[in-house]
Chains A and B, each alone.
Chain A
């Protein structure tokens, strides 16, 4: 089996190196583990740092947003016939030790898509984060009919059925919710695994902000009106 770890990255030169280094290069059951960084038009050295770390690097010549980077990752996984795809954040907020645990649900064929949820139990994350996430979860349920405790998580594991069937449309941050639309549309079996996110000043500044919420909501609703 072939595993791809896909990392969308925009101006992440400070962290991307550490993130790639921290990822497992070999995992039992997989004869091949590849790391793909999609550099989403970064103006810094993200591309170079990722290449130096021996990752496969695809570059967007201009910045198109998180959704766009994930589309490229999915397309790459599809074209190169990977069996499992993991999406992983470039800001260092995911602990690689969860990869094994989160892979298990997929390998047992119990799920088509597993998301690493930072919110399965209440923890000591910043309050603004908790509020943003709760609002996003409710909207995700209302719009797409899938219950989740973390609609905005960037740690996802997709099996082959998910890789083939999930079609993303959004270019921006609202793509995280769109995964749930696709889960519902394709009747994929969805599971959550609890993870602890590593919140640093850096990852907080990089992630979803309260101020992003209105535009994400507007985009999701307009999508329905089209």
Chain B
């Protein structure tokens, strides 16, 4: 099996990506579930790059013309989902920040002139 330059570069990049995920997991920055998700995803991508005929079969099952098309469609759906997750995650972060700001603002209070609340 002779590999094209594209196959080699993409594979190397994905191996690099997997190594990053594993390192993040070791640092405790990503969860078990995230590790599993990303390693599976990148491994599948490597398999698809090294054995492109698999994608053709997948394309046939999905009723799409070519293997490359199937890969692109699946990638786009996946990307949309990940962007959505990211959006929700950012929303949660913003919400948490606001909670903090609120608590800090309310903490200011006892120093102030409000007589009733500062006594107790």
Contacts and interface: CB of A to CB of B under 8 A. Distances in A.
A142 interface: no
Interface in A48-97: 56-62, 64-65, 67-68, 71-72, 75-76, 79-80
Contacts of B105: 38, 58-61, 72
B83 to A, nearest CB: 12
Contacts of B108: 58-59
Contacts, number: 55
Contacts of A182: none
Given A61-B101, A64-B97, A171-B95, A75 B106 contact: yes
Given A58-B108, A226-B88, A80 B117 contact: yes
Interface residues of B, number: 20
Which interface class (under 10, 10 to 19, 20 to 34, 35 or more) fits A? 20 to 34
Nearest to A65: B98
Contacts of B97: 62, 64
B93 to A, nearest CB: 11
B52 interface: no
Interface in B54-90: 84, 87-88
A169 interface: yes
Given A56-B114, A222-B87, A79 B106 contact: yes
A206 B84 CA distance: 31
A60 B88 CA distance: 24
A169 B95 contact: yes
Interface of B is mostly: helix
Given A58-B108, A58-B109, A59-B108, A72 B102 contact: yes
A144 B42 CA distance: 42
Contact of B104 (A34, A61, A222): A61
Contacts of A62: 97, 101
Contacts of B88: 222, 226
Interface in A24-49: 34, 38, 41
A123 to B, nearest CB: 35
Nearest to A32: B116
Contact of B112 (A41, A56, A64, A71): A56
Contact of A68 (B98, B113, B117): B98
A53 B80 CA distance: 51
B85 to A, nearest CB: 11
User: Can you list the 9 inter-chain pairs with the closest CB atoms, starting with the nearest?
Assistant: A58-B105, A68-B98, A60-B101, A72-B102, A64-B98, A171-B98, A72-B105, A64-B101, A60-B105
9 contacts: A57-B112, A58-B105, A64-B98, A67-B98, A68-B98, A72-B102, A72-B106, A171-B95, A225-B84
Interface of A: 34, 38, 41, 56-62, 64-65, 67-68, 71-72, 75-76, 79-80, 169, 171, 222, 225-226
Interface of B: 84, 87-88, 91, 94-95, 97-98, 101-102, 104-106, 108-109, 112-114, 116-117
